Structure 1
């Protein structure tokens, strides 16, 4: 006798697995069924032999309950190939939208701090030490909190840890809204921790869910980072004036962070379905790569130096350039506008550069050009910091495209999600330690010499070295970092 497994009124709606012909076979088959399949199979009298004991029934009920709980919230997989493709595209679009909104939040708090530094100093009566610390604090937090991203992702999944990092960012941004020094510092530590985890995990998420679109997706989220920086720098001072003070202006950024968290949580069922699909396909999973093993890799150290130097220059720009311009007679609002021009120029390049880099076999020439242009921007600030401020901003904006270039090379040179996670955590943690010296050096030299000429000249040298090291990483001879029988130092041709 043949019994249909389709529910009445919905023929062919769901795919079915042929029933087993005995209790043991049926129990084994339950692991491959959808929750509705399990119910139908249990209700199909000819597919089960009489059960010997009540324990067997309890086992079947437990399996069904566990399977239902595990799949709770996951969209049902349609049988029709066209519907399946549409569902997968919709899920991918939702994950991409989540990545975009997460990325937009990764520099809002950082970029809004520089233009408000003078207001914060006056309102909260900050000493010179705290003023110098604030632009550096972010980088130090990134250095120490970043390595935890790889460790947590390995245990809980990159997507789940990214959600937790957004929750921490929301809390930190809200605490920064408290108008006192402890609130400012504690909130910055919390917000910086959330951003640090996001910095490390976004390349991993891109490699996991868009392995064949690394350049394009990295370009999109790098563009959103630049756009977020543009908006935050441009409206920081007007927003502070509207909301009644710089602390409230900083606390405002908890709102977009909360929106990013909400959207990322909405994409959870689709991310989980993707993970289950990959696991069911039997795709080989690379072994974990301990961060300490990367200390033997020339590629990892070169990536670290390239990342550290470009981060150093970037955080000097975000933290100190408005002060440099203000000390030369420009108003705080105008200085914030100049900084926003830097990010506005950088925004389209943040998409174009990764897309171009991913299609090139070698990224050497691109890395060198960006380093030279970056240096010309700092030279322009030395020559005419006010009259040529917007030209300097444009040149620096072009040079700061080194950031998305390095992010793209992390994805390309990582080779696998595990390799990317290890390379991202290693290069960002050690790289941010290198970067932390930049804002401190810049502030100390500027205040000690009562001039910004020497600090700016040092930054010219920094970005030129950055270009040379990034060119070394961009050579196809460097290969990709892989895990082969536990040897994280193994290298294969880059092939891109």
Structure 2
């Protein structure tokens, strides 16, 4: 066990400071992504972007979440989680500020930099919760999911008013303020973590699929179950985020109403972002929650196909489904991990594959729509993808721990040897 993993009982002042840092970190993990989409029209005119370049700009953040997620665990093992998170906030801040420079190169480089910072924070947040607040995994994961969803919705909702009030630069630059505030909290935590962490014996080049003791997660079936479940849950969300307005406009809804449906879908999922992780952490077996996600997704997607005139109902149902699936997958990163280092490695593995899959999902659905001239075939494809999502979700939700292959067993993880069927510790709240 690393010294990082032994520091689970923090002094009260440090625990409070860490909790504040966790809250501020989560607020910065969506705004830089969702806040740019509503002002794409202005950016297209200012920078002279082609349609293809706009498509790349909207896809880049999700692809960055996947690409850079693979690097975050290795950086954290080398420098410490607090230092890595502080660095991620620096990248988010610089990326946001670069995007207000009137240069297409700065716009794209800033987007990549902000995406890299968000990916690092996404991956390391479960490990921070697991290590600093092991008895509050469910409630704090739920709080983080709720704040991420809420901040994303707020950023999307305020983008146009900020643009109208102060221009596109104000609409983009304003989100550097919360990232700077978060950095002021994580800076002291990084200094403290650097002083108290024993230099690891794992090189920085160790892959994200390895735990701190060198074991690989690639041979762990549970790790793959969690990764595929997270990937398909993310794909569903980002496809609907990208294409739901077009689907509803083609179904006869006014453009303004169709645009509001995306916000309604996101808002419907905000309460579940908190409730689902709390319930999941209290259950030894999370399979009933996976089944509930499946029912809502099949109902919502089937409703859009068969009765699009009742679109608002199906959008709200889909909000419940997507708002439950990703928080559940995110909670499983901790529930299936026996230690913070394994949680970080599993998070990196799951988010790398998950976001790369999610990044290509909207593109594939768009191509399928163009090829068929309608939305029934793309919606049927999404319905078909619910089947593997549920199957892998049910496998990931069974009781048990991820067990990295070829690792050095320690006292803390020896009791978690079997992947399935082992009695787990009392559930966190």
TM-score, structure 1 normalization: 0.73
- Equivalent residue number for residue 202 of structure 2: none
Q: Deviation at 1:120?
A: 4.1
Question: Counterparts of 1:123 and 1:131 in 2: how far apart (Å)?
Answer: 12
Aligned partner of residue 129 in structure 1, secondary structure? helix
Q: How do 1:262-281 and structure 2 match up within 5 A? A: 262-268=184-190
- Equivalent residue number for residue 491 of structure 1: 418
Q: How do 1:173-322 and structure 2 match up within 5 A? A: 173-245=96-168, 248-268=170-190, 288-290=212-214, 293-322=216-245
Question: Counterparts of 1:176 and 1:147 in 2: how far apart (Å)?
Answer: 24
Q: How do 1:27-426 and structure 2 match up within 5 A? A: 88-121=11-44, 124-245=47-168, 248-268=170-190, 288-290=212-214, 293-325=216-248, 334-383=257-306, 387-400=309-322, 401-426=324-349
Question: Counterparts of 1:156 and 1:199 in 2: how far apart (Å)?
Answer: 17
CA distance 1:418–1:474, change in 2 (3 Å): same
**Unmatched 5+ residue regions in structure 1?**
1-84, 277-285
CA distance 1:309–1:273, change in 2 (3 Å): same
Aligned partner of residue 361 in structure 1, secondary structure? coil
- Equivalent residue number for residue 4 of structure 1: none
- Greater relative contact order, per chain length (Cα 8 Å cut-off, separation 6+): 2
Question: Counterparts of 2:371 and 2:58 in 1: how far apart (Å)?
Answer: 17
Q: Deviation at 1:393?
A: 2.9
Greater CA radius of gyration, 1 or 2?
A: 1
Q: Deviation at 1:190?
A: 0.8
Question: Counterparts of 1:303 and 1:111 in 2: how far apart (Å)?
Answer: 25
Q: Deviation at 1:203?
A: 0.6
- Please say if residues 86 and 190 of structure 2, whose CA atoms lie closer than 8 Å, have aligned partners that are also in contact: no
- Please say if residues 110 and 318 of structure 1, whose CA atoms lie closer than 8 Å, have aligned partners that are also in contact: no
CA displacement, residues 1-34 of structure 1 (integer Å, 9 cap, x when unaligned): xxxxxxxxxxxxxxxxxxxxxxxxxxxxxxxxxx
Question: Counterparts of 1:325 and 1:299 in 2: how far apart (Å)?
Answer: 38
- Equivalent residue number for residue 41 of structure 1: none
CA displacement, residues 49-82 of structure 1 (integer Å, 9 cap, x when unaligned): xxxxxxxxxxxxxxxxxxxxxxxxxxxxxxxxxx
CA distance 1:196–1:355, change in 2 (3 Å): same
Q: Deviation at 1:287?
A: 6.8
Aligned partner of residue 296 in structure 1, secondary structure? coil
Question: Counterparts of 1:202 and 1:355 in 2: how far apart (Å)?
Answer: 16
- Please say if residues 414 and 482 of structure 1, whose CA atoms lie closer than 8 Å, have aligned partners that are also in contact: no
- Equivalent residue number for residue 4 of structure 2: none
- Equivalent residue number for residue 427 of structure 1: 350
Q: Let me know the Cα RMSD of the aligned residues.
A: 2.9
Question: Counterparts of 1:108 and 1:414 in 2: how far apart (Å)?
Answer: 29
Question: Counterparts of 2:159 and 2:317 in 1: how far apart (Å)?
Answer: 22
TM-score, structure 2 normalization: 0.83
CA displacement, residues 428-455 of structure 1 (integer Å, 9 cap, x when unaligned): 1122222222121022223344433322
| Length, aligned pairs only | 398
Question: Counterparts of 2:53 and 2:245 in 1: how far apart (Å)?
Answer: 17
**Unmatched 5+ residue regions in structure 2?**
1-8, 199-209
CA displacement, residues 361-414 of structure 1 (integer Å, 9 cap, x when unaligned): 1001101211321232233333455x5443233212211221111111110111
CA distance 1:287–1:395, change in 2 (3 Å): closer
Q: Deviation at 1:289?
A: 4.6
Question: Counterparts of 1:287 and 1:199 in 2: how far apart (Å)?
Answer: 17
